[in-house]
């Protein structure tokens, strides 16, 4: 029993798959490379794979090391220009994670794709889907990382709520330069209803979809921030924090408060 191998088709298929896997791996390790380095790394990986297939190697173990170790490590190092360190190890692991996901998706449709062009199209289509899924998963993990519990105190009143530390909130009070945190009108009513307002003035802001807005600034007595960090809880106490009240009842659908990144 023997197989006919068309080396040009074999090279092209490996080049395309290597390029997609390198782009997906770059997203996963947050080390995006330029298109030139991605295509060069993919071409190098495809060429070495073809060479390993054509050149007879006497021992199976050596072939396995070449296919699953040396070639892929060299391809990753050329593409992402990393050292022989933890970054390269993570890239190597995520390359196989990407290969498992993309290969599994293509494995379902491969029997029905006799046309190589259709196979390439579907490979790119599944790459786009996996990239979007990864972006959504990464965004969700980042949201969990910046989620915290906040207790705001004004006189005898207290508000406990979920808050989000937002990298987009860099507002500062014009006079003192103190970081400004944002709450919704519903939360503001809980704390400041029937309470004499202290230091009421306004701050201008810009956001997506709205330009030239202003928000009233209020000063609370105390803010306690409790943020989980691994298995521990990090506590931050801020005396007399400055809070801006937005036009909406809640700052977002999920959060009553957005904290300034500079806390």
135 and 175 both lie in a single domain: no
* Per-residue pLDDT tens digits for 180-235: 999 988 888 888 887 666 656 888 877 655 566 788 888 889 999 988 776 777 88
Residue 179 lies in a domain: yes
Q: Model pTM greater than 0.85? A: no
Query: Tens digit of pLDDT for each residue in 58-70?
Result: 655 566 666 667 7
**Torsion, CA 163, CA 164, CA 165, CA 169, rounded to 10:** -100
For residue 171, pLDDT over 80 is answered with yes
Kindly tell me the burial class for residue 24, based on how many C-beta atoms sit within 10 Å of its own C-beta (0-12, 13-18, 19 or more). Answer: buried
Decide which of 144, 165, 194 is a domain's last residue: 144
Q: Is residue 2 part of a domain?
A: no
- Condensed to tens digits (0 to 9), the pLDDT of residues 106-159 reads 777 666 666 667 778 888 888 888 888 888 777 666 666 778 889 999 888 898
Please, what is the angle between helix 71-80 and helix 7-29, to 10°? Answer: 60
Do 139 and 51 share a domain, yes or no?
Answer: yes
Q: Based on the domain organization, do 125 and 56 belong to the same domain?
A: yes
Residue 8: which region, alpha, beta or left (left: phi > 0; alpha: psi -120 to 50)? Answer: alpha
**Number of CB atoms found within 10 A of residue 116's CB:** 12
Same domain, yes or no: 158 and 213: yes
Are 225 and 174 within one domain? Answer: yes
If one counts the domains in the chain, the total is 2
Q: What is the CATH number of the domain that holds 172?
A: 2.40.70
Last residue of a domain, one of 118, 144, 170: 144
- At 35, the pLDDT band (50, 70, 90 cuts) reads confident
**Confidence class of residue 9 from pLDDT cuts 50, 70 and 90?**
confident
Do the Cβ atoms of 24 and 131 come closer than 8 Å? yes
Domain finish residue from 109, 144, 179: 144
- Give domain status of residue 46, yes or no: yes
Residue 70 belongs to some domain of the structure: yes
Q: Are 185 and 262 in contact (CB under 8 A)?
A: no
């Amino acid at each position: 029993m023997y197989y006919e191998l068309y080396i040009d088709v074999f090279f092209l298929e490996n080049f395309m798959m290597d390029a997609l896997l390198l782009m997906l791996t770059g997203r996963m390790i947050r080390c995006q490379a330029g298109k030139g380095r991605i295509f060069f790394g993919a071409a190098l990986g495809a060429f070495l794979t073809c060479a390993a297939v054509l050149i007879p190697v006497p021992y199976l173990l050596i072939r396995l090391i070449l296919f699953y170790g040396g070639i892929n490590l060299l391809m990753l190092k050329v593409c992402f220009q990393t050292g022989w360190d933890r970054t390269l190890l993570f890239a190597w692991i995520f390359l196989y994670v990407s290969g498992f996901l993309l290969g599994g998706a293509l494995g379902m449709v491969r029997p029905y794709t006799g046309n190589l062009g259709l196979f390439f199209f579907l490979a790119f289509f599944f790459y786009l889907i996996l990239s979007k899924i990864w972006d959504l998963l990464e965004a969700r993990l980042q949201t969990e990382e910046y989620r915290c519990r906040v207790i705001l105190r004004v006189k005898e009143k207290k508000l406990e709520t979920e808050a989000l530390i937002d990298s987009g909130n860099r507002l500062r009070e014009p006079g003192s330069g103190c970081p400004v945190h944002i709450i919704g009108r519903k939360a503001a009513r809980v704390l400041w209803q029937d309470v004499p307002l202290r230091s009421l003035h306004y701050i201008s802001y810009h956001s997506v979809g709205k330009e030239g807005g202003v928000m009233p600034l209020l000063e609370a007595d105390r803010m306690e921030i409790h943020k989980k960090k691994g298995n521990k809880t990090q506590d931050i106490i801020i005396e007399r924090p400055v809070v801006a009240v937005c036009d909406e009842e809640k700052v977002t659908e999920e959060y009553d408060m957005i904290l300034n990144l500079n806390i």
